[in-house]
Amino acid sequence: MRANALRLLAAAMGVYLAATPVRAHHEMAAEFDDRKPVTLRGVVTKYEWNNPHVYVFVDARVNNETANWALEFAGPSDLRKAGWTRDSVKVGDAITIEGSLARDGSKTAGGKTLTLPGGKKLSTVSEDVISAAPKSAARPTPRWPDGHPRLGTVPGEKGYWAHPSAASLADNTAGNIRMNASGLLANIADAGKVAPFQPWAKGLYEYRQRTLLKDDPMASCLPPGGPRQFQAPHGLQILEQPDRQRVFVLSGGGNRNWRLIDLDGRALPQSEDVSPTYFGYSSGKWDGDTLVVDSVGYVERFWFSNGGLPHTESLKLTERISRPDFSTLKYEVTVNDPATYTRPWTSGWTLQWTPNEDIEEYYCQDNPRDAEHLLGQ
Amino acid sequence: MRGRSALFLVVFVCLPFAVSMLAQEGHPLTGSWHGSWGPTPTQRTPLLFYMKWETKNVTGTINPGPNAIPLKVATLDAANWTVHFEADTKDGMHIVADGKLDNIGSYNRTIAGTWTQGAMKGDFKLTRD
């Protein structure tokens, strides 16, 4: 019975992995059911070009009932990559939208395509498009006058880090574990391989996976602390201040979140001396061309990785950040949380440089339509 | 003026509600819990639990204060989200409670089940604060 249930769940997740076209602020699979496709033909009554989700409202007739439907798409920055503009849709347009029905039975759907009156078809951006790394000419690692690698922009240029090569933390010894860009496992049976969980933590991780990450604190607009800042779909910027001996890590795709790493050799605070925070307290030093950062003091109210890996206030992180060439940021993190995991474990991935662009503003409270996610569930 | 009143309403009335609706954090038993136990729906004794996950085991206290009862046993079976508590009152009555954790993803998750205190039997329900 249990094995059948697991197989069904694995199959459902497989369908989701194959079919889910967007990566958005909240986990789309938790809200919309890809097994319930819908095609709506109607007249646009409202078009909201806002973060975290663009909405198109149409009066459409379904099952002999005319109603006003809300069609949810990815955020503006993602849709721009797929050719949308804030003027793509106009009130009064007769359009056709394909999407997936909401799980709660409301007159809401997750939009996948939108066909305009002239026949032009707009699609929501696919994960492949979002994660595709830009092609950059090979350039050497940029350096500061003292020889250390520059981890951020070079003078006169723009750019930021994005396109992480891994979706979620997973123990380096775990082998290949399939998961989508939100860290949702293709096969729930792989849960135990992801990290050396204590039993309660494995149970909680599996619960979060089975519920399609619906409780993700990021859906309540809470910050992506820890390694998750390096997995965020809208990238990050590293701002170095050598004269002040500190580094800021600025989140794209968040509420202007930033993390401070001190490089002046200060000791990390004792846990009883500080209030835990979402980005913790970090102290770093250079080991050759690698910035080694130790961090403590994390609050428990966030998920420190995509996919819902648990942690406690005992969490200590050691991160190793390097830039082996101009376009590659190498990130490795060792997780030490004895209250959650049976041993320290390490994971890592690379990010790619996105040239000639800056991280974008993305206030997730911008659209009141998403208030239910601000309030949690 | 009306706008300011609305802003006040949002900030001071809705925001605490929003905070209370945050999702689950850390170990599922960690935190303060309130509720009651009793043999019938009308005969209830208030309960306040404080529990903390200490790397390998859960420690805690029932009704912290002058009449505090330390938890002797507090276990969680994450395979089916059942909990088991044991404690002894100051007058020597043994408490055994078995319950099930529900609404796990919520900050205000609950535990409900059976409560035995000496010769008395009843049910209990706790909600995380």
A33-53 in b/e burial notation, b at 16+ Cβ within 10 A?
A: bbeeebebebebeebbbbbbb
Q: What does DSSP assign to residue B5?
A: H
Contact at 8 Å (CB) between B41 and B119? no
B49's enclosing H/E stretch is: strand B45-53
Global pTM reads 0.80
* CB pair distance less than 8 Å for B24 and A313: no
Q: What is the 3-state secondary structure (H, E, C) of B52-106?
A: EECCCCEEEEECCCCCCEEEEEEEEECCCCEEEEEEECCCCCEEEEEEEEECCCE
B53 contact residues in A (CB cutoff 8 A): 200, 312, 339
Residue range B13-24, pLDDT digits in tens: 444 434 444 555
What is the torsional sign of CA A200, A205, A209, A215? Answer: positive
Q: Which residues contact A376 (CB under 8 A, 6 or more apart)?
A: A215, A219, A220, B18, B21, B22, B23, B106, B107
pLDDT, mean of residues A185-211: 96
Distance from CA of A158 to the nearest CA of B (A): 37
pLDDT on residue B19: 40
Residue with tokens 């992995």: A17
Of the candidates B18, B104, B105, the beta carbon closest to that of A375 is on: B18
Residues paired with A260 in a beta bridge: A248
pLDDT on residue A368: 55
Residue range A278-302, pLDDT digits in tens: 999 999 999 999 999 999 999 999 9
Q: What does DSSP assign to residue B23?
A: B
Q: Which domains does chain B have, with CATH numbers?
A: 25-128 (2.40.128.120)
DSSP A227-276: GGGGT-TT-EEEEEEGGGTEEEEEESSSSS-EEEEE-S-PPPPPGGGS--
What chain B residue is nearest to A371 in terms of C-alpha separation?
B18
A109's enclosing H/E stretch is: strand A108-115
Which residue from A350, A282, A273, A275 is spatially nearest to A316, judged by alpha carbons? A282
* pLDDT value at A4 more than 90: no
Question: Cβ of A358: how many Cβ atoms within 10 Å?
Answer: 14
Which amino acid, one-letter code, is at A309? Answer: L
Query: Would you call the peptide bond into A134 cis, given omega within 30 degrees of 0 as the criterion?
Result: no
* CB pair distance less than 8 Å for A207 and B21: no
The class that CATH gives domain A2-131 is mainly beta
As annotated, the residues of chain A forming the CATH 2.40.50.140 domain(s) are: 2-131
Out of A74-88, A118-132, A341-355, B59-73, which region has the weakest mean confidence (pLDDT)? A118-132
